[in-house]
Structure 1
Amino acid sequence: MRYACFGKSNQVDDNSDVGLQVIVEDVDGDGLPDIVVSNKKGVFFTRQVARKWTVNSYLW
């Protein structure tokens, strides 16, 4: 499964196959959008996790 963010494609899963139903919504209540995909292989939930960072860790 891929999604586009700021013009860049990011792979978040390589096992869920083609989604028949895709929902992007805040499922866990943390304020960040999560991805739920349903197809013949099952239901797949991808939770977005925010990482804490500082300017020094971002700039290396």
Structure 2
Amino acid sequence: MGLQYQCINHSCNFPGETRFEMKFTSEAIMDNNNLAAAFCPFCKKEMVPSFLMDIPRDPSENQANERL
């Protein structure tokens, strides 16, 4: 299992249809605490780990997702 980072900048000029994503194999990193920040090569903004994208910011969002 590896670690994925996504660019969340809405004005990023990545030419693809989805967000720019970087993937690292588990052999390339020791753990999440020892990895430097990843930056998008297109917009130069800091990228966010994909596992953080799945965490709701508002507890009420979690309840709404459970109803679906």
TM-score by length of 2: 0.29
Higher relative contact order (CA 8 A, sep 6+): 2
Which structure: greater helix fraction? Answer: 2
